[in-house]
Amino acid sequence: MGDDDAAAAAPAQRRTAPPVVITDPRTGRQVEMTKTAAKKLLKRAAREEKKEATKHERRAKERQRRKERRAQLREQRARDPEAHAPAPRPRAVPFRARVVVDLGFDDLMTADEATSLAAQLGYLYGVNRTSARPFEQLVFSGAGTTSSASLGFTPPHSGAHAFPPAGTAESSLFADRVGQHMEHKNRGSWRRWSRVHLAEFGGLEALLRPQADAPPPGPMVYLTADTDRTIDVLEEGTTYIIGGIVDRNRYKHLCAKKAEALGIPTARLPIDLEHVGQHMNARKVLTVNQVFAILVGWTETRDWKAALQRGLPSRKLHTATAEGDASADASADASADASADASPAGSPAGSSPDGGLSAPSPV
């Protein structure tokens, strides 16, 4: 056989290599494939199995490495405190107002929306913690006696989920889905968050009642896009309430109705030409973390323009139009935001390493 013949015969042989039948270790099913593909599949499965088996060991090693690194840093710092001291963070001066996130809408969210909201709570805490003018206290309150049904709203999928009944001993903040997410995240670290109070029972309604062991609740304002009143300044001593819900604008006027039912005044953020620098729908519905970022932006700068520019994602600014239709662009924004919620895209100054802060102006 000449060289040419051999070259012609070789590819033909490869094409006819008989398939093999193996058990796919991931699915347990019998699959037919080429010998090479089968080899690859089995190798990959063996690799994954080994990785899984050594997971704990690897993590322990990683912990040990971090421990050693910390000890090393401590030692270096002890030897030469000047050179290795961490850059001092400016002392935070709390803004003496409270922000309550009203988590009393768990039943109105889909599972994904509840997950998104839980992610936003972590972001919110991070923004407050790193701010030079943090809110003195963040309060997370859960289900109270005002049911969604009494406000005229029905849960998605006609309430196919099972929820702890509202307004009973079981309706603990920790029992519903957002609460459960938070309990499982970092071993329930939210219980140890500074400047955060978890109001376990009674919902927002309980916060309205004077408590024997606490100072009187003071004035409250429920923030909502669905009102004619606009916030002028934030005031110390006041409690600002944000509706803790991701609803992709499904439940219009939900929080305004709840506020009305509870006799709490409402106000919206000053989203207007003067502060945004371009036409934008004044009743723009923002996400919980955007609203909070704007509030902290204000405590830091005392300037709505600066606060809104930091808190509003640039996407919103660019898509805003003179006659921007409320419902259409709000719902499009809301769904896009849901995926971006956990990222500090709309983050205010407080979350950047140097805070990006201009010094808080004197009051």
- Whether 80 is a known active-site residue: answer no
Which amino acid, one-letter code, is at 18? P
Both tokens of 176, joined, read 């519903």
Is 286 a binding residue for ligand SAH by CB under 6 A? The answer is yes
- Cα–Cα distances (Å) from 89 to 111, 138, 196, 355, in that order, read 38, 21, 20, 9
| Among positions 291, 296, 307, 338, the unique one binding ligand SAH when judged by CB under 6 A | 291
Q: Given strand 95-102, what is the order of strands in its sheet?
A: 196-199, 135-141, 95-102, 239-243, 220-223, 266-267
| Among positions 97, 225, 308, 349, the unique one binding ligand SAH when judged by CB under 6 A | 225
Task: Report d(CA 285, CA 224) in Å as an integer.
Answer: 8
Task: Report d(CA 161, CA 63) in Å as an integer.
Answer: 39
Is 330 a binding residue for ligand SAH by CB under 6 A? The answer is no
Q: Which is nearer to ligand SAH, 22 or 342 (CB)?
A: 342
Binders of ligand SAH among 233-272, rule CB under 6 A?
242-243, 245, 247, 251-255, 268-269, 271
Q: Which is nearer to ligand SAH, 166 or 242 (CB)?
A: 242
Answer whether 120's CB lies under 8 Å from 288's CB. yes
Is 275 a binding residue for ligand SAH by CB under 6 A? The answer is no
Task: Report d(CA 299, CA 136) in Å as an integer.
Answer: 11
Q: Which is nearer to ligand SAH, 121 or 254 (CB)?
A: 254
Q: Which of 247, 329, 333, 337 is catalytic?
A: 247
Is 296 a binding residue for ligand SAH by CB under 6 A? The answer is no
Is 151 a binding residue for ligand SAH by CB under 6 A? The answer is no
Q: Helix 177-184 vs helix 111-129: angle between axes, to the nearest 10 degrees?
A: 50
Q: Which is nearer to ligand SAH, 193 or 292 (CB)?
A: 292
Judged by the rule CB under 6 A, the positions of this chain that interact with ligand SAH are 223-225, 242-243, 245, 247, 251-255, 268-269, 271, 284-286, 288, 291
Annotated catalytic sites, by residue? 247
